[in-house]
Amino acid sequence: MFDIAPQVASLALQEGTSSGPAITSTGMAALAVGLAGLGAGYAERGIGSAAVGAVAEDEGLFVQALILTVLPETILIFALVAMILA
């Protein structure tokens, strides 16, 4: 994620003459995985607390809570696979 910072800075300072992409493919892949990680963490914030509360009240909801907790993590897995394939 920190590899992209110099590229973003040079993009901001660029004066409009460009002959290629502003961000390299490695930078784009890092940005995709980083944003997917932020999105998964944001989704996990609400789902995790609700799942823990539901399981604390009724232990029969453990499987449903586990499935709902794992779903946001698949977003990050898809981003990692896309980065590897890119």
Q: Where are the domains of the chain?
A: 24-85
pTM of the prediction? 0.59
Reported as a single tens digit per residue, the pLDDT across 32-85 is: 888 888 888 888 888 999 999 999 999 999 999 999 999 888 888 888 887 788
Give dist(CA 53, CA 20) in Å, integer: 51
pLDDT at res. 54 = 94
Please tell me whether residue 40 adopts helix, strand or coil conformation.
helix
pLDDT at res. 62 = 96
pLDDT at res. 59 = 93
**Could you tell me the pLDDT band of residue 15, with boundaries at 50, 70 and 90?**
low
